[in-house]
């Protein structure tokens, strides 16, 4: 990354915090990735020894080295570091190693790996004092059946990035506070000959939809995911109104169907070059936009809600640090997690990764370009369906992507998409 998203950091920000259907499909679609071929193992912070702990990461060594060096400096213990890139390679490697009893003492627990908890591959951390600074949204994400299995110290948030100059051409200086107002803004831009809005539909990234759903559910005081999977309600009952509202972008041709031919990187390029006024963006898009268009004036805000004043961010808590129950050095593993939760470690990780840290024991500062997203992430007003679904998230994401892309092409009606998800869930549960 060429641009620093935090006020005082050298970022190595990746897209790992966004769970993309395509990547997920690769995992469960049987993509066999060689575990050894995609990982490295390096002693960081002084080599093995009695106090050493092994750590398997999907953050690169460049990101983690300042944190691990600080651990060694403060404790005298060292870390044996290994790495695989997210998401399919990491998941495949972790599962292979744990099942072969060759897993590291500490590893990153992801949404895709939560089934490992049920298999007895993750240590229960409930009651550990180092969990106390964790944000409630992060703690909820790391909880299974009332027990906490990981330490998550950061979150991400995505919203709508807009070109201030193009919005000014229709008299707007910020996003409206309602979805209807947002659609009106899109119509005004289209009437001026300006392409209003892109989501990276080709990649299954419907950023504005996730936030629209989050604001809709939050305004009704309860998120329906658990009830849907328990059979107490359905996608049709809970998703139809916000999904149909979102799909007006396509049914009213405010977003052209040609967006299906653009990758996520091409969407960013279209925005940076002034060919689209707004797009669904995460903090990781900021450096690319700034590099491509250094003089472009832009801002990112939360996705306007169906009810005025219920704007919400797309986003999720980041994966957490977990302990292998068969750790060779369990005491050092606990000591390592205790350190990772400390203000010094949180600060070091935020600086090296560019992540939005959310613990209560350290308040980070951010560059103006991502301040809004950072505040959104730290507020906990973030939603991403795939990480809220307790099972079949990969298959349901694939089904949703398929239905959405067919809707954009005109062969599926928006109101039929939630019913298709209900049908798919029943099929998956029947297997």
Task: Determine the pLDDT at residue 353.
Answer: 87
Q: State the helix-helix crossing angle for 21-28 and 88-99, rounded to 10 degrees.
A: 30
Other Cβ atoms within 10 Å of 350 Cβ, number: 25
Other Cβ atoms within 10 Å of 118 Cβ, number: 10
Q: How far is CA 37 from CA 14, 41, 93, in A?
A: 21, 11, 10
3-state secondary structure of 314: strand
- CA dihedral angle for residue 289, residue 312, residue 236, residue 202, rounded to 10 degrees: 0
Contact 386/214 with Cβ under 8 angstroms? no
Alpha carbon distance 341, 48 (integer Å): 22
Contact 360/375 with Cβ under 8 angstroms? no
Angle CA 18–398–91, to nearest 5: 50
Backbone angles phi, psi at 191, to 5 degrees: -65, -25
Task: Determine the pLDDT at residue 17.
Answer: 39
Task: Determine the pLDDT at residue 67.
Answer: 97
Token pair listed for 144? 């299974």
Contact 116/319 with Cβ under 8 angstroms? no
Task: Determine the pLDDT at residue 260.
Answer: 96
CA-based nearest residue to 306, from 370, 431, 219, 248: 219
Task: Determine the pLDDT at residue 34.
Answer: 29
3-state secondary structure of 362: coil
Task: Determine the pLDDT at residue 40.
Answer: 44
Alpha carbon distance 161, 196 (integer Å): 11
* Regions of the chain where pLDDT drops below 70: 1-51
């Amino acid at each position: 990354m060429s641009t620093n998203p935090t006020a005082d950091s050298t970022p190595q920000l990746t897209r790992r915090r966004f769970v993309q259907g395509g990547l997920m499909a690769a995992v469960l679609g049987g993509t066999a990735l060689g575990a050894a071929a995609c990982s490295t193992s390096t002693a960081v912070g002084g080599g093995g020894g009695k106090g050493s702990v092994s750590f398997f990461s999907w953050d690169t060594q460049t990101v983690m080295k300042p944190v691990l060096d600080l651990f060694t400096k403060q404790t005298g213990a060292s870390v044996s570091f290994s790495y695989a890139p997210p998401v399919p390679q990491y998941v495949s490697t972790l599962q292979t190693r744990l099942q072969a009893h060759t897993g590291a003492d500490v590893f990153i627990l992801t949404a895709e790996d939560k089934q490992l908890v049920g298999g007895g591959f993750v240590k229960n951390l409930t009651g550990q004092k180092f969990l106390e600074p964790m944000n409630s949204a992060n703690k909820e994400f790391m909880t299974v059946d009332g027990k906490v299995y990981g330490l998550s110290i950061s979150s991400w948030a995505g919203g709508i990035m807009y070109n201030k100059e193009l919005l000014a051409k229709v008299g707007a200086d910020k996003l409206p506070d309602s979805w209807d107002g947002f659609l009106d803004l899109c119509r005004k831009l289209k009437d001026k000959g300006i392409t209003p809005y892109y989501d990276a539909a080709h990649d299954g990234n419907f950023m504005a939809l996730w936030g629209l759903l989050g604001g809709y559910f939050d305004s009704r005081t309860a998120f329906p995911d658990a009830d849907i999977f328990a059979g107490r309600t359905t996608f049709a009952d809970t998703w139809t109104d916000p999904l149909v509202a979102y799909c007006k972008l396509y049914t009213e041709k405010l977003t052209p169907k040609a967006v299906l031919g653009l990758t996520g990187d091409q969407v960013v390029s279209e925005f940076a070059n002034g060919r689209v006024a707004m797009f669904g963006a995460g903090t990781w898009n900021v450096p690319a936009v700034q590099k491509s268009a250094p003089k472009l004036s832009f801002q990112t805000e939360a996705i306007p809600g169906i009810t005025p004043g219920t704007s919400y961010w797309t986003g999720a808590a980041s994966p957490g640090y977990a302990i292998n129950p068969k750790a060779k050095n369990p005491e050092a593993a606990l000591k390592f997690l205790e350190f990772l939760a400390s203000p010094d470690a949180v600060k070091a990780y935020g600086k090296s990764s560019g992540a939005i840290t959310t613990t209560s024991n350290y308040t980070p500062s951010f560059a103006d370009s991502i301040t809004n997203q950072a505040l959104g992430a730290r507020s906990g007003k973030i939603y991403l369906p795939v990480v809220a679904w307790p099972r079949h998230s990969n298959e349901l994401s694939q089904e949703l992507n398929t239905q959405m892309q067919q809707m954009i092409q005109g062969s599926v009606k928006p109101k039929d998409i939630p019913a298709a998800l209900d049908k798919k869930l029943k099929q998956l549960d029947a297997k």
